[in-house]
A and B are shown apart, each in its own frame.
Chain A
Amino acid sequence: LAKTTQPISMDSYEGQEVNITCSHNNIATNDYITWYQQFPSQGPRFIIQGYKTKVTNEVASLFIPADRKSSTLSLPRVSLSDTAVYYCLVGGRADTNAGKSTFGDGTTLTVKP
Chain B
Amino acid sequence: GDSVTQTEGPVTVSESESLIINCTYSATSIAYPNLFWYVRYPGEGLQLLLKVITAGQKGSSRGFEATYNKETTSFHLQKASVQESDSAVYYCAPLATSSGQKLVFGQGTILKVYL
Do A and B belong to a common assembly? Answer: no
Q: Which residues from chain A sit less than 8 Å from chain B, CB to CB?
A: none
B residues within 8 Å of A by Cβ? none
